[in-house]
Amino acid sequence: MNLYRSKNHHIIAGVLGGIAERFGWNVTLLRFIWILLTITPLPGLIIYLVLWLILPEKDD
């Protein structure tokens, strides 16, 4: 599994954009789901921050 942060689809750090690119998902839908997770007791924000720290940026 080769996850990375996207340089093309980023708002903050490109974590969700990289996940969407890797699995062929719609980045807008993934962001909406992440917002729902973040509104509920915080797991989305914590997971995002951890992935931001551990995922490398995609090489061109």
Mean pLDDT for back-to-back runs of 10 residues, the chain (60 residues): 76 82 89 82 76 81
Specify the pLDDT at position 4. 72
What residues contact 33, with CB distance under 8 A and at least 6 apart? none
How many other C-beta atoms are found inside a 10 Å radius of the C-beta of residue 26?
9
Take residue 29 and report the two structure tokens written for it.
């839908």
CB 4 within 8 A of CB 58: yes
pLDDT attached to residue 42: 66
Q: Output the pLDDT for position 10.
A: 72
What is residue 60's predicted lDDT score, i.e. its pLDDT?
66
57 φ, ψ (degrees, to nearest 5): -75, 150
In this prediction the pTM is: 0.60
